[in-house]
């Protein structure tokens, strides 16, 4: 697994799973529709990505769909990293 996916997966696990939560988290696990992350707590994930990868994700692009899996989050980050370059 590449570094980007691993970093985001680790953050999601640390930030959103309760202690003792044994759910297996993979890059295609639904986070929003699966009830792991909700729109209220999603802001910290967006801020983490922006800070860690020095990108600005416009609110219009930070949709629940775009944040639904680690795979889709990686796509989003890469899209805006490309814009930054």
Burial class (CB in 10 A: 0-12, 13-18, 19+), 22: exposed
Q: Which is nearer to other proteins, 65 or 78 (CB)?
A: 65
Nearest approach, Cβ of residue 2 and other proteins (Å)? 26
Q: How far apart are CA 38 and CA 19, in angstroms?
A: 18
41 or 52: CB nearest other proteins = 41
On whether the CB atoms of residues 32 and 67 are closer than 8 A, the answer is: yes
Q: Between 17 and 75, whose beta carbon lies closer to other proteins?
A: 17
Q: Which positions lie near other proteins, rule CB under 8 A? A: 16, 18-19, 34-35, 38, 40-41, 43-44, 47
């Amino acid at each position: 697994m590449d570094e980007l996916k691993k970093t985001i997966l680790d953050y999601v696990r640390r930030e959103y799973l309760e202690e003792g939560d044994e759910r297996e988290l993979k890059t295609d696990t639904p986070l929003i529709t699966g009830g792991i992350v909700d729109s209220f707590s999603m802001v910290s994930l967006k801020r983490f990505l922006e800070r860690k990868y020095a990108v600005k994700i416009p609110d219009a692009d930070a949709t629940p769909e775009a944040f639904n899996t680690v795979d889709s989050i990686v796509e989003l980050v890469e899209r805006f990293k490309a814009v930054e370059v």
